[in-house]
Amino acid sequence: MTSISIQLFASSSDQIDCSNELNASYFNTTYYKGRQILFLDSEEDLELKNLMESELNIKDAPTLKDLDRLFEWDRVNNMEYIYKILNLMDRNYVVNKNNIVDFKKYEVKFNNYCEA
């Protein structure tokens, strides 16, 4: 997995958005958006997972891009799930031990590309 992310960042300077801060730029990359959502074993998360399957027709493991789509879907459908979705987003849009190596590699690319 690490070698894939190195190739993505090494060849994708078009994914680096210098108009955003580092974290926002990283979270908006295709690589990051393709990560699977980390759900808790809770009724709230199960409800959102089922909602994604039924309303967005997601059959595979939901990704962060799917979570963004659910957020947009909820905005036009009375925002009934907004707080649950935001809670799930808060838990998934973080730099932690699961992605710190990739983030650090991205940070180097971001600094080199955006300072040039």
CA 20 to chain centre: 15
Cα separation, 99 vs 97, in Å, equals 6
- In this prediction, residue 11 carries a pLDDT of 41
Residue 95's pLDDT band (boundaries 50, 70, 90)? Answer: confident
| Residues 6 or more apart whose Cβ sits within 8 Å of residue 99 | 32, 35
76, containing H or E segment = helix 64-76
- Taking only the tens place, the pLDDT of each residue in 58-70 is 989 999 999 999 9
- Taking only the tens place, the pLDDT of each residue in 40-57 is 999 999 999 999 999 999
| Residues 6 or more apart whose Cβ sits within 8 Å of residue 10 | 109
The residue ranking higher by pLDDT, 67 or 16, is 67
Residue 34's pLDDT band (boundaries 50, 70, 90)? Answer: very high
* pTM for this prediction: 0.77
- In this prediction, residue 76 carries a pLDDT of 97
Contact indicator for 92, 37 with CB cutoff of 8 Å? yes
Number of domains in the chain: 1
Residue 36 amino acid letter: Q
Domain that holds residue 90: 2-115
Cα separation, 47 vs 99, in Å, equals 26
Under DSSP, the state recorded for 15 is G
Cα separation, 111 vs 16, in Å, equals 10
